[in-house]
Each structure stands twice: as structure tokens, then as C-alpha cells.
Amino acid sequence: MFTRVATLFALSFVFVAGSIAVAQRMTVAQAPPAAGEPATSVAPIPATPQPAEPAPQPPPVVAEPPAQTPPAAVIAPPAQKPAPVVTVPTPMPPAKPAITQDPKDSLPAKLLFAAKQLPTLGKAMAIGYYPRGCLSGGVELPVTGPTWQVMRVSRNRNWGHPDLIRFLEKFAPRAAKSTGWKGILVGDLAQPRGGPTPSDHKSHQTGLDVDIWFMPMPSHVLSKDERDKIAAPNVVADNWKELNPKNWTPQHIAFIKAAADQPEVERVLVNAAIKQELCRVEGKNKDGWMSKVRPWYGHHDHIHVRLKCPADSPNCRAQPPLPGDDGCGKNALDYWFSDKVLRPQKPTTPTTPKTPPKALTLADLPPACKTVLSAPARE
């Protein structure tokens, strides 16, 4: 009897336990679909307690990324990206200052100086040597004065050191008086900042040289066109050994003397045939002015007056002192009438190319001329 009861009890216990197990399997199998997993995976999953854990995770994973990643993405890039952009290009600029050669230094200086239409601001100074220098603080000679007119105005070479302008303002009425002319015709002085010129002038670079024509000033004010086209007469004969009596007059001697007489004048350059005539007419004159009149190439239609270095120009290089004589010695002019000068030798082989002399560059001029070139202009 007790054994049956115990057996029944045991059987009913097993039944109850089995029912509970079945019920658990059914609840577990219903939960997974919420996790979004494929429906096919639900069926094969055995009735274990594990599948219940992955289910809660997907929702937070989906909910968090949209909420947190955007702000992080917005803040980080703007703060960190610009920095590397700046640091990359900076190493490059330091390479440029290493270039010490200014490309301007190798250009012909005549082009650089001819391009300057105005003088520099500041103190007037003649810099360097007459054929290798420049001019600071240049002053313009008015193109028309009471007793002078400037020729070739379009060249813009009526600029000089103030000493030269003062000399011309004083010389013009003086020359007019001593010759009986209305006045003088003035050729080239210097460019606004001096320096080499595009034409054949070798000097005229420091604002201390001026060409003055062997021609009386007309009584009317010349037009710009006349000033550009009228040519100065050649006072030397075709053989280059004597004067042309049609163009040469005694007034020309008075004209030259009026220039050479001035204490600030260093040299007056004339053609050798003119010097020869001066020696013939004025040879006994030993008061000094004859010594300043020296023969040079060209100068058959104008005199070239060169002033001494001004006191205010410490960088002006003086010309070697004149020989003590008057330049009228027995053989003094022989060289100038030699075949070497009058009939320069032609090249032995006609095909030999003539190499033109190298144009002066900025590097050939005094360093101060580079400053003159870049200095602000005086309007």
C-alpha cells in the first residue's frame, strides 16, 4: 500500500516537473522575435536560457549611435583638420630669402635709368664718376628761359645737379652778352636720376655734364617739333682738320671762353680742329681757361661743359687734374689729326663680327645708384 502511494506521488511529481519544463520552452521561443533576428533562426534555437541575453542589447545599440556620433563628428573635424593644413606650407617660404642675386643687377642699367621719368626725393648728390654714376635729387632745367631753350625735350634729359642748373642760368645770359646771340640752345644734361642713357653718351651720368650747341638761339620760342628736328651746324670742315668758314664765327670763341672762364667748370670738350683754332687765336692767353678746353671725339656741333664735383657730393669722383699746360704745345694735337683718329682702321677681315662693348649693369655702378633707382619719386 505505501509503495503504491509513493509510486503515484513520484509519477505525479515527474508529470508536474515535465509540464513546467514545457511551459518554459514555450515562453523562451516567443521572446527572440523582438530582437529583430531573422525568423528562421528562432525555430532551430534550442530551449536554453542564453538567447534571452543578446535580445536586450540591440535596442540600445541602435538608439545610441544616432544620438552620440553626430555631435562627436561635428566637433572633432573643424578643430583638428585646420592645423595640419597650416603646418604643411610653412616650411617652403624660407627657401626664397636665400636668393641674394637681384635679377635687376644684370640688366643694362641704361634701360633701368631711362625708365625713370622723375627724380628721387631728397638731397641732391652727384654719385660716382661722370661716365659711371647717377644722380640723386635731380633738378629740372626749365625748357624755356629768358636766354636759353632746351632742345630734344622729348628725351627728358634736362635734369642735373643744382650746381649745373645754377651754372646754366648764369652762363646763358653771359654767353648771350659776349656773343651778341639771343641766347643759347641746350642739348642733353642728364636723365632725372642720371645713369647711363640709351643713346651713345658715355658720360652725362652724374648730373654735372651738359651739351650746348654751336648755334644762336632763334628769337621765337621753338615748338616741340622744332626742338626735336632742328640739327646743330657742324663748324668743322669735311676733312676734319680745319674749320668750316661757313659755320664758324669769332663769336664761337667768345662762347667757349664764357664757359671755360667759370670757376666751377672742370672741362670744356671741343673737336680738335676747334682747339687748334683757339690755340691760333688765343694761344698767348695763359690765364687758365685755355687749359680747360680739351679736344675730344665728336663735339663738332656743340661744346660739352663738365662741372667739378660739388661740395655736397662726397661720393662724386673727381676727374684727374689737368696737365699744367694750355694744350697748345707743338705736338699736342698731332694724335687727334692722325690717321688713327681720322681714318680708323677697318677690320682686317670684313667678316669679323664687331662685338659691341658690354652695356653697363647696375652692378657696374656705385652701390648707391641702386638706392637711387628704387628711391621714391619727387612729383
Residues that bind Zn ion (CB under 5 A): 211, 304
- Of the pair 188, 370, the CB lying nearest Zn ion is at 188
Least distance to Zn ion, CB of residue 99, Å: 39
- Of the pair 294, 304, the CB lying nearest Zn ion is at 304
Task: Specify the amino acid at residue 289.
Answer: W
Q: State the residue number with the nearest CB to Zn ion.
A: 304
- Of the pair 211, 277, the CB lying nearest Zn ion is at 211
Task: Specify the amino acid at residue 60.
Answer: P
Q: Look-up: residue for cell 681757361? A: 289
Least distance to Zn ion, CB of residue 302, Å: 7
Least distance to Zn ion, CB of residue 331, Å: 26
- Provide the H-helix boundaries in the chain: 2-30, 39-42, 58-80, 82-87, 109-114, 162-179, 224-229, 250-260, 272-282, 289-292, 339-342, 368-374
Backbone phi and psi for residue 11, each to the nearest 5 degrees, phi listed first = -65, -45
- Of the pair 163, 211, the CB lying nearest Zn ion is at 211
- Of the pair 99, 231, the CB lying nearest Zn ion is at 231
- Count other Cβ atoms within 10 Å, centred on residue 26: 9
Are 126 and 310 spatial neighbours (Cβ–Cβ below 8 Å)?
Answer: yes
What nine digits make up the cell of 96?
A: 626664397
Are 233 and 195 spatial neighbours (Cβ–Cβ below 8 Å)?
Answer: no
Least distance to Zn ion, CB of residue 233, Å: 17
Are 149 and 185 spatial neighbours (Cβ–Cβ below 8 Å)?
Answer: yes
Torsion of CA 19, 22, 27, 29, to 10 degrees: -170
Least distance to Zn ion, CB of residue 159, Å: 14
DSSP secondary structure letters along 52-74: GTTTTSHHHHHHHHHHHHHHHHH
Least distance to Zn ion, CB of residue 115, Å: 22
Least distance to Zn ion, CB of residue 334, Å: 24
**Listed residue (194, 186, 274, 184) closest to 234, CA to CA:** 274
Rounded CA separation 375/108 (Å): 19
- Of the pair 68, 319, the CB lying nearest Zn ion is at 319
- Of the pair 51, 113, the CB lying nearest Zn ion is at 113
Residues 6+ apart with CB under 8 A from 221: 144, 149
Least distance to Zn ion, CB of residue 211, Å: 4
Are 139 and 159 spatial neighbours (Cβ–Cβ below 8 Å)?
Answer: yes
Least distance to Zn ion, CB of residue 298, Å: 8
- Of the pair 189, 362, the CB lying nearest Zn ion is at 189
- Of the pair 299, 370, the CB lying nearest Zn ion is at 299
**Number of helices and strands in the chain (H, E):** 12, 11
Q: Look-up: residue for cell 658690354? A: 358
Burial of 363 (0-12, 13-18, 19+ CB in 10 A): middle
Least distance to Zn ion, CB of residue 336, Å: 17
- Of the pair 139, 210, the CB lying nearest Zn ion is at 210
